[in-house]
Structure 1
Amino acid sequence: MGIIGATTFTLLAASFLTPFSEAAAKDADNKRNRQVEVQILSMNDFHGQLDTIQKVDGKPAGTAAYLATYLKERQKQNPHTLIVHNGDAVGASPPTSALLQDEPTIEVLNQMGVSVGTVGNHEFDEGLKEMKRLIYGGYHPQTGYFKGARFPYVAANVIDKKSKRPILPPSTIQRVKGIPIGFIGAVTTETPKIVVPSGVKDVEFIDEVEAINREAKRLKKMGVKSIMVLLHEGGFEDKNSKEITGRIADITKKLDPEIDVVFSGHTHSYLNGTINGKLVVQGLNYGKAIADVDLIIDRKTKDVVSKKGEIVFTKHEGVTPDPIVDRMVKKYQQKVAPIVNQVIGKASVPITKQTNEAGESAAGNLIADAQRWKMNTDFAFMNPGGVRADIPEGDVTFGDLYTVQPFNNDLVSMKLTGAQIKQALNQIFSDPNRPHILHVSGLTYTWDPNRPANDRIIEVKKADGTPIDPNQTYTVTANYFLADGGDNFTVFKEGTDRVTGQSDLDALVEYVKQLPQPFSAQIEGRIKLAQ
């Protein structure tokens, strides 16, 4: 081909290519115009941690003011952003929130611009009436009138025992650029087993899958194709295989195909994976992380066409705390300071809730000792979920002890036989996958993980080393949660001659005050694994 021929060919090619290139670009523009990018930022299991600094990779993280900064910075990246929380926003809270009936946490969530939330098991800690007061507003004798949350709470699977109606709206619809996005709420059906029974006496927790799918069907009839689930239930993700296991996986596999994302909670874990085409995310706990879910939704079909998740850690380094939330938290701190700052004792070493392989911890031992001392019984038992924080070295304040034991459960003494005590210890393994290793005082026990779940306790001895007598009756102390069968420890409900005493927190405060100072506690071999 000659020079003229080559030039002619090039011009001809260009004349054909240009319209196609323009068409492709135009088609891409049209596609972008047909789609909306939506960002959903999620937090879970905040537990009122307004001012408690956490650690991620050994570096400071968390607190409300830093969490607010991360949320705002992410919002700047996308004007179409919704913020959600997946339960346990309050409950088991440190004193800055708890001493003010957790109203500060709701006010901070309002300030952060939360769009929708659901309840976790801890929202029921003080009963249905107090939970609804925090949501809808109302009067409390300690704090006065409270305006409540400025965002809706949803829960599809919690119904009133008498009316059989949901106690909260099952779902809500948020609209972004005219596109409806449905949010269905649900909480673990395990709730009655892990909260004080009086807190849930008026409600029933129906199957999560049944309730969520029923509500998804209703939303679909309304034309909602983008459906999110806020589910306060969790699981765990394998670091190598990335497989997610646990109840969250079992539930998600059975959910309606139209559901796009499941925002998880409860297990305080890292989740970012896919189950049956559904994105599942969970961002640790206590404000240490948020889950950032980016969706692309088709304007015409109103359905999600793309989704991806990211877990964002709220590390302090290089970040400025949000000034508005920072001022709010300082105001709350000033209100509780006279109570919180009282020095109760002095610890010679840090007393941590970290357990050894057998399940024993220094903090658990200290608390069990305090309860046995206060109620003057042979033995005491403490549930591990009630030990919420470490005790720092040095001056130990009322606030420190409150953070360790925030539930204010009354102590109950009772009588049990040695056989019943062994049976109660075997109930540690009623859920073999999540055993609740009881902290003890006045006795020791040895368990064998290789034995059947209902027969793992192989030896129970008094503190002096003598075996307990299965036929002898002993006096026992447990907090009200355990005494009423919490965490499946139903044997404690069989205890006779029950006497209710002071709260567990009061007992701990009094016990620490009377100890020789500085005081300490350590792992002593009260709980042992069989060799």
Structure 2
Amino acid sequence: MLSINDFHGQLDRVGNVNNQPVGTAAYLASYLRQRSLENPNTLLLHVGDAVGASPPVSALLQDEPTIDILNTLGFDLGTLGNHEFDEGVTEMMRLIHGGTHPETGYFEGANFPYTVANVVDKKTHQPILPPHVIKRVKGVPIGFIGVVTKTTPTIVTPDGVKGVIFTDEAEAINREVKKLKKKGVKAIMVLAHEGGFQNSKGEITGPIADITKQLDPEVDVVFAGHSHSYLNGTVNGKLVVQAYSYGTAFSDVDIVIDRRTKDVIQKRAEVVTTYHKGMKPDAQIQKMVDEAQAKVAPIINEEVGQTTEAITRTENDAGESALGNLIADAQRWKMNTDFSFMNPGGIRADLPAGKVTWGDVFSVQPFGNDLVKMELTGEQIRRLLNQQFQDPDRIRILKVSGLEFTWNPSRPANDRVVDVRKADGTPIDPARTYTVTTNSFLASGGDNFTVFNEGTNKVVGPTDLDALVEYIKQLPQPFSARIEGRIQLTDQ
């Protein structure tokens, strides 16, 4: 079983691992095809977020090129990630089952099945896709159960998850395991779009470990995703594997099944990095990527500015980033507010050194969220900043403009912010009302920043992308952004 996770339509983006180029659809294809030839009993799987938060080459064409490429490579099965819901259930189903979009016309959809066991229709309470799929290899049945993180409603806009309910992942998996066992299926795999991390001792922690610990002993392998991390280890005797993200790696899981018992008797995994060195890009897939690039070239190649150096989303220990500062500044400038806040998960790429195109800026902010101006008191802003620490597994430090704050990691999660100041150093007044800008995702309480729901006098502005492009164009060129100490750590 060869699996990818969190591909995010990265058809043409070259990554860097150990100072070597990795990734792109054409190189990933060469690796998958080579490994498939080595073993006739191969299944190709994806573990969600195949599309969504994609660069322009895929996103501007409604992510159809990515599904086309998975079809061409002969993928056997996929599950949903949270980003499959970015444009709502109807558009997600169009990409899977086929249908017409006003921008791109008719699309045939995916020619492989999807499975998800923990997403049900709000009205009928029926699963929106098959909760499990059985694949037969040389007559032996292998069961696959898909699930997506139950936190999806908090990390996708409300419109994206309208009409569906997300249930507990482990409960949904165990329910389907029972059904599979009744059908005589003993080899059972889980495609779980939820993640975790692995330490130097090989121990896996995080939500995927918590889920796996609750699973029926009949489950053999858990393919993970969502955290864009490396996982290759065992939890309660189950193999758990995840291959980073963006096609920079894939998982190669080998299992041996006893024909008599139909059960897995051996299993092992390897996470393979898609280094360019020593591998040729797949010509068929490269041609498909080239065609997609040609379609979007007129839009994406427009120059919007020049940087003095690359501006990255890399955070310092306090959680501040140069690119986060630039985006927050753009949003505050466009909406003319006292402060602005940007979520780190909405920053999807870095800006290059030198020429910056519209396509580069789109890759940074591909969601098309509207900007929202609102009023919050100083007391609400402090509570908002403390909400950065509510999930110990996923601390999310907001990028800020017009504002500085200091936090202490050893204080209780709901009181970690030590002080909040305006940019000139004066403390904000808890009783005073301030104007703030954020994006429509956060404005609706996304990432569990529920204080934004308390905002008053809300005004909707242009998209975050348009605001950032406009802001960059009016800056003195070449422009730069850097970490300035807006966010600071203290042990006091």
TM-score normalized by the length of structure 1: 0.92
1:194-273 alignment to 2 at 5 Å? 194-239=155-200, 241-273=201-233
Query: In structure 2, what is the equivalent of residue 147 of structure 1?
Result: 108
- Superposed CA deviations along residues 134-162 of structure 1, whole A, max 9, x for unmatched, are 00011101100000000001000000111
Partner of 1:281: 241
Give the alignment partner of residue 385 of structure 2, picking from 406, 413, 425: 425
**Which residue does 2:8 correspond to in 1?**
47
Q: Does 1:401 align with 2:361?
A: yes
The aligned runs of 1:26-425 (5 Å cut-off) are 40-239=1-200, 241-425=201-385
Deviations 1:325-350 (A, max 9, x none): 00000000000000010000111111
| 1:447 and 2:407 are equivalent in the alignment | yes
Q: Distance in 2 between matches of 1:53 and 1:255?
A: 37
The CA deviation string for residues 257-290 of structure 1, in whole angstroms up to 9 with x for no partner, is 1111000000001111111111110000000111
How far, CA to CA, are the matches of 1:48 and 1:61 in structure 2? 15
Matched residue type, 1:526 = R
Deviates more, 1:127-136 or 1:192-201: 192-201
Residues matched between the structures, number = 491
Q: Is the 8 A contact 2:320 2:483 kept in 1?
A: yes
C-alpha deviation, 1:491, in angstroms: 0.2
For 1:278, give the aligned amino acid: K
* Match in the other structure for 1:18: none
- Give the equivalent residue in structure 2 for 1:21: none
Query: Which residue does the alignment assign to 1:12?
Result: none
For residue 325 of structure 1, give the secondary structure of its aligned residue in structure 2.
helix
| Structure 1 CA distance for aligned equivalents of residues 372 and 69 of structure 2 | 36
Question: In structure 1, how many angstroms separate the alpha carbons of the residues matched to 2:220 and 2:93?
Answer: 29
In the alignment, the residues of structure 1 paired with residue 214 and residue 411 of structure 2 have an alpha-carbon distance, to the nearest angstrom, of 33
**What are the Cα deviations for residues 49-81 of structure 1, in whole angstroms up to 9, with x where unaligned?**
000001112211000000000001111110000
Kept in 1, the 8 Å contact 2:15–2:248? The answer is: yes
RMSD value, Cα: 0.7
Q: CA offsets per residue over residues 169-212 of structure 1, 9 Å max, x none?
A: 10111111001111100001111111111111211110111100
SS at match of 1:449: coil
Q: Secondary structure at 2:43's aligned position in 1?
A: strand
Distance in 1 separating the partners of 2:314 and 2:240:
29
Give 1:436's aligned amino acid.
Answer: R
Listed as ranges, the gaps of 5+ residues in structure 1 are 1-39
Greater Rg by CA: 1
Alignment partners' CA distance in 2, 1:433 and 1:68: 33
Moved >6 Å (runs of 4+): none
Q: Secondary structure of the equivalent of 2:482?
A: coil
TM-fit CA distance, 1:507: 0.4
Measure, in 1, the Cα distance between the counterparts of 2:373 and 2:8.
29
Q: 1:519 aligns with which of 467, 479, 482?
A: 479
SS in 1 for 2:36: helix
Matched residues in 1 for 2:348 and 2:152: separation? 18
Equivalence for 1:467: 427
How far, CA to CA, are the matches of 1:453 and 1:272 in structure 2? 31
Q: Give CA-to-partner distance per residue, 1:447-469, whole Å, 9 cap, x none.
A: 01011000011111111111111
Deviation at 1:300, TM superposition (A): 1.5
Corresponding residue to 2:448 among 473, 488, 494 = 488
Measured after TM superposition, the shift of residue 111 of structure 1 is 1.0
Partners in 2 of 1:115 and 1:349 — Cα distance? 43
- Aligned counterparts of 1:275 and 1:456: Cα–Cα separation in 2: 33
The CA deviation string for residues 428-477 of structure 1, in whole angstroms up to 9 with x for no partner, is: 00112321000000010000101100001111111111111100000000
Listed one character per residue, the Cα deviations across residues 369-410 of structure 1 (whole Å, up to 9, x for unaligned) are: 000011111100000001111101111000000000011100
Q: Secondary structure of the equivalent of 1:51?
A: coil
- Quick check: 2:187–2:219 contact (8 Å CA) kept in 1? yes
Alpha-carbon distance between aligned partners in 2 of 1:234 and 1:332, rounded to the nearest angstrom: 31
Secondary structure at 1:81 match in 2: coil
Contact 2:206 / 2:393 at 8 angstroms: preserved in 1?
A: no
Give the Cα–Cα distance (whole angstroms) in 2 for the partners of residues 395 and 280 of structure 1: 42
Consecutive unaligned residues in structure 2, runs of 5 or more? none
The question of 1:528 aligning with 2:485 is answered: no
SS of match in other structure, 2:471? helix
> What's 1:5 paired with?
none
Asked whether the equivalents of residues 82 and 155 of structure 2 are also in contact (C-alpha less than 8 Å), the reply is yes
Displacement after TM superposition at 1:303 (Å): 1.0
Indicate if the aligned counterparts of 2:377 and 2:433 stay in contact, CA closer than 8 A: yes
Q: Distance in 1 between matches of 2:322 and 2:137?
A: 51
